[in-house]
Amino acid sequence: MPKDLIICVATELEAGSLREHLPVLVTGVGAVNAAIALTMHLERFGAGAVISCGIGGAYPGSGLATASAVWAESECYGDLGAASPEGFLDMEALGFPVIPGATPTYNRLPVRIRPAGPAARFVTVNTCTGDEQTAHTLAARTGGAVENMEGAAIAHVAAIYGIPMGEVRGISNPAGNRDRSAWRVREAAAAAQECLLAAWRRGELTSALLDRHPH
């Protein structure tokens, strides 16, 4: 079991079969819980890389099927900013980077671990989308395909600590009107875990650690 890698999941359901093969940290739901849990882990134990694994909703036009799995090509704080009569203002428009520096980071955060397979832009929100108009608005504004509640916070912490981060999500539902009869939560959680374990078996997660710690 690679001790230099940590897998972050929001709930026990999303941990599933991962524990048999990889170190898992259950963070709790939401960006604050995810950031606190990962920061505490890194301060106590450290890690060379982090993967976020869980479920997510698919925005209209994404083409992603329910119970399929997809890797993140980037992460984004979808609702971090301010409303205005002219529309939503993100952190760059407000002039406040979430990570300051010579090249400041605003709403979009890097995802450096991208194993083989389908990939899409991910969007992290504090309030899950519950109507079609909001889903279309968020998708258009961010260019995102997959909605979740933790990924950007995990990418944020990983960027501050200078470690590579990846994220895989199983699609549990269309992001839009909340029709619970269309949800496939368990199937989506299983799909994300299977996709992650397949990348691990192919050695793609080990490669990320070797890139971090060359010998």
In a domain, residue 174? The reply is yes
Listed in sequence order, the residues at least 6 apart from 102 whose beta carbon sits closer than 8 Å to its beta carbon are: none
Mind listing the pLDDT tens digit for each residue in 133-177? 999 999 999 999 999 999 999 999 999 999 999 999 999 999 988
CA atoms in the 13 A half-sphere facing the CB of 180: 0
The pLDDT of residue 212 is above 90? no
Contact indicator for 51, 167 with CB cutoff of 8 Å: yes
In a domain, residue 215? The reply is no
Provide the terminal-to-terminal Cα distance of the chain, rounded to the nearest Å: 19
pTM: predicted TM-score of the whole model, two decimal places: 0.93
In a domain, residue 23? The reply is yes
Q: How far apart are CA 92 and CA 154, in angstroms?
A: 20
Q: How many C-beta neighbours within 10 Å does residue 42 have?
A: 18
CATH number at residue 68: 3.40.50.1580
At 152, is the secondary structure helix, strand, or coil? helix
Q: For the chain, how many structural domains are there in total?
A: 1
Q: How far apart are CA 42 and CA 108, in angstroms?
A: 22
Structural domain that includes position 88? 5-210
In a domain, residue 157? The reply is yes
Q: Could you tell me how many helices (H) and strands (E) the chain has, helices first?
A: 6, 10
In a domain, residue 204? The reply is yes
Mean of per-residue pLDDT scores for the chain: 93
Tokens of 179: 């029709």
Q: How far apart are CA 140 and CA 214, in angstroms?
A: 40
